Amino acid sequence: MGEPHRAFYGNQFGLTVPLFAHYGVELWVPEIGGPIDPDNEAHELVMSVFGGMSKGERNRIKLRVRTAMAAQTLLEGRYLGGRPPYGYTLRDLGPHPNPAKAADGKHLRGLTLDAQTSPIVRRIFDEFLAGYGLFAIAEGLTANHAPCPSAHDRARNRHRSGIACSKSAIRVILTNPRYTGRQVWNKQRTDEVLLDVDDVALGHTGVMRWNARDKWVVSKEITHPPLIDDETFEQAQALLTRRARAVDRQERQRRARNPYVFRGMIYCAVCQRRMQGQYNHGAAYYRCRFPQEYALANEVEHPRNVYLREDALTDPLDEWLASAFTPDHLDQTITAMCDAQPTDTTPQTAAAQATIAACDAKLAQYRAALDAGADPALVTGWITQTQAERIRAEADLQTTQQTESRRMSRSQIADLVRALGDIAAVLRDADPDDKAEVYRQLGLRLTYQTETQTVRAAVDLSAHRGVMVRVRGGIRTLVRVIGAPFRVHMLIDYGTFRVGSTSRAHYRA
């Protein structure tokens, strides 16, 4: 190794040298004059010094690069790369001012107006200052078939659908100061965080985080054609701040006053998104505003608003749990849970099982050969070889099954179900917050189908779960599940129930 300070950073040498010693690999370093001795404290000290030097040099390089980029942005307004903002495209500004880079054929680039999308950016600011909300602006653009950012630049947004504008895209445009004609840098930073706080030897990973606005570096002069002036941009920021504060106050009041039993558990069957909690006339509802929030009302067959009342769902759900785990239906429930387990096996599992079966057949033949008077020394060698092959196959099977869902016996499922206790009594007497925790720990997932007004409920007992629930002043353990790899499904049919109706309906579970 010619330059050890370029090979190891920080404590990397201390983490890797045990591997070299384990596999008998010699590491030669010129500064030591030969191979490194893992047991030599002086060698370890020298390599630690080189690791510190590498870390220091890295920090110095990072500081120099960031300082240069900040100066280029502030004083020159140079475009430093990245995707151009919506409304702009790139143009060639000639050879790079650095002679070495210019010799390599590199050119500077800058921002120029995009004829198709720049009018849309001006329209967004005009409508927002005229009193339109983010939802209304997004839906108006979608109705006029204006290309959203992800649809306009598909090469960089393959991970997005590009169907229509969203409120988040409108907000990003309204908060981007580059539309004033000035270059901006340092809106984000990269922080190094531990991969695992319980095992620091795994090292760090880079995480992108947003910087506060006072940390942004903005060019002093206008460097590219502006789409709005400074006054318009500041007005938009002030309006966004006022609206955000009002929404925050409402959200804080709503959270403090209104608990939701099925928070994060109810999904819309049309769009497969979580339904949002909302209180209306003193009752808890769950709604899906997919077309309004993402401006897709003209693109997909989805009701403008889907509502589901919470108390209309709680009773049939608890009744199902009570009926499914009563002594009269317990055997039937256990049978259904047993049958619901996956039966498919992977090719690796099937191959290992076939190998074990073939080895068992060979061992039976060898024992029969011994009984028939075959040479014991020869047959013993065959048996030893076959047994070794069988052990390897068993190890492969065990490794494969650790990542697969293994079937449980009926007795194991019965023991697990009996450990749940009286679920209906606990849910009936529990506080709303405790009841929500019970549903969450049970892995409850509710999917609401608005056309048929039915809810598909799935209880997932596939994880290690333990729920402590307060019951009439005491504490009772409701669930203690040890790796049950199956799902239980049920269907709650509302019958005559209508969305938004305050009248009680008849249910069947």
pLDDT score, position 403: 52
pLDDT score, position 332: 77
- What are 297's two structure tokens? 């009302």
Rounded Cα gap, residues 446 and 308, in angstroms: 11
The continuous run of DSSP H or E covering 294 comes out as: none
| Alpha-helical runs (H) found in 430-488 | 432-441
Map out the domains of the chain as residue ranges: 4-76, 88-183+219-246, 259-342+406-509, 347-401
Estimate to the nearest angstrom the gap between the alpha carbon of 314 and the chain centroid. Answer: 29
pLDDT score, position 236: 92
CB half-sphere exposure, 4, CA atoms < 13 A:
27
CA 268 vs CA 296, 309, 311, 442: distances in Å: 15, 13, 18, 20
Rounded Cα gap, residues 436 and 449, in angstroms: 22
- What are 212's two structure tokens? 């506060």
The continuous run of DSSP H or E covering 392 comes out as: helix 376-401
pLDDT score, position 224: 92
Estimate to the nearest angstrom the gap between the alpha carbon of 106 and the chain centroid. Answer: 38
Rounded Cα gap, residues 68 and 59, in angstroms: 14
At 397, phi and psi to the nearest 5? -65, -40
pLDDT score, position 114: 92
Instruction: Tokens 């403008």: give the residue.
Output: 304
Task: List per-residue pLDDT tens for the chain, 509 residues long.
Answer: 777 777 888 888 888 888 888 999 998 888 888 888 888 888 888 888 888 888 888 889 999 999 999 999 999 888 888 889 999 999 998 998 888 888 888 888 999 999 999 999 999 999 999 999 888 898 888 888 888 888 888 877 777 777 778 888 899 999 999 999 999 999 889 888 888 888 887 778 889 998 988 899 999 899 999 999 999 999 999 999 888 776 655 555 555 466 788 888 898 888 778 888 888 887 888 888 766 555 455 566 777 788 888 888 887 777 777 677 677 777 777 777 777 665 556 677 778 888 888 888 888 888 888 888 878 777 777 888 888 888 888 887 777 665 555 566 777 777 776 666 666 666 666 777 777 877 777 778 888 888 888 888 877 655 444 443 333 333 333 333 333 333 444 444 433 333 333 333 333 33
CA dihedral 161, 166, 171, 176 (to 10 degrees): 40
Quote the CATH superfamily of domain 88-183+219-246: Putative Large Serine Recombinase; Chain B, Domain 2 (3.90.1750.20)
User: CA-based Rg of the chain, rounded to a whole angstrom?
Assistant: 33
pLDDT score, position 299: 60
